[in-house]
Structure 1
Amino acid sequence: MQISIFGRDREIAASRIDAEPETIREQLREYEAGERTAFDLGIEYPDDFTGQVMQAMAEIPAGETRTYGDIARDLESAPIAVGQACGRNPVPIIVPCHRIVGVDSLTGYGGGLDLKRELLEHEGAVIPGEST
């Protein structure tokens, strides 16, 4: 399913979300307008490491970040494996892979670093490596 957030298009796997497309789009509009900080949607997590990383991402509140290393320690894995799992997240923004950052920089993001920065700024998060 194609979505638009801050003027950028992203693809999400609606089959992983237990909601009608219009409900998903409405919650995304509310998020973009600053009326929502968390999504109230049932997510079907893959039954593998990616699913474990997605569940860890889903627990990070808006306005906060975690490093790839933080998640790796929690899951007894490696930061690079966490980064790869973030890249496989089938429902970006709704499961907030943008909240996973490097120790001193944003690092990668499937939607591009400009969108990652915009999402984090929208949420009021501190961006690593950038002055406040």
Structure 2
Amino acid sequence: MSAYDAVLPAPMCRLGARFTGDALTRLDFLPSDAAPSSRIDSRARQLNVELDAYWQDPGHVFDLLYVPLGTPFQLRVWHTLMGIPPGRPTTYGGLAAQLGTAARAVGQACGANPLPILIPCHRVVAARGLGGFMHADAGMPLDVKISLLAHERCAD
């Protein structure tokens, strides 16, 4: 059995989706050579439609059931991330000041985000430069962040 209920294409990679019941609970960035699912169920079809709408318009508001699983602090950070508009990234420090916490704690919560794109952790950057993404500061994760920011017209 696959680790994912569906593997969907994306412009810069593949996306592995996991559902619990009808709710999307995880979305992982996978290498571009990961085989997309040949058959997808109605949940994955709806996710694919929503993602296609986002690829067309980065301001698209996702209309599907998704449930991020995390600590109360992580959920607080993730909820705040959802208020960051496309094309207007903020810094870890700015978000930390808004939440009354430390930038490093915000970074850890961003890195633990189980639903990137839907919860736009890529819109949080370092005071100088891009910062990290998915607990990495180089390689595929940072390439994905750069691609998402470019899609939203924010890349340096």
TM-score (norm 1): 0.81
Residue 93 of structure 1 and its aligned partner are, at CA, apart by 0.8
1:22 is aligned to 45
Structure 1, unaligned stretches of length 5 or more?
Answer: none
| 2:114 is the alignment partner of 1:107 | no
RMSD: 2.3
Give the whole-Å Cα distance in 1 for the aligned partners of 2:116 and 2:152.
15
More helix by share: 1
Task: Please report the TM-score for the alignment, with normalisation by the length of structure 2.
Answer: 0.70
Identity of aligned residues (%): 32
CA distance in 1, matches of 2:58, 2:102: 35
Structure 2 residue corresponding to 1:93, chosen from 93, 111, 117: 117
Q: Are residues 1:123 and 2:152 paired?
A: yes
CA distance in 1, matches of 2:90, 2:72: 21
Q: Distance in 2 between matches of 1:49 and 1:40?
A: 24
Q: How does 1:1-132 map to 2 (within 5 A)?
A: 1=4, 2-15=7-20, 17=24, 20-34=43-57, 37-45=60-68, 46-110=70-134, 112-125=141-154, 127=155, 130=156
Give the direction of change, closer, same or farther, for the CA distance of 1:92–1:48 in structure 2 (3 Å limit).
same
**Which structure exhibits the higher relative contact order, with contacts defined as CA atoms closer than 8 Å and separated by 6 or more residues?**
1
The structure with the larger Rg is: 2
Give the length in aligned residue pairs: 127
Unaligned runs of 5+ in 2: 26-41, 135-139
User: Conserved in 1, the CA contact under 8 Å of 2:113 and 2:119?
Assistant: yes
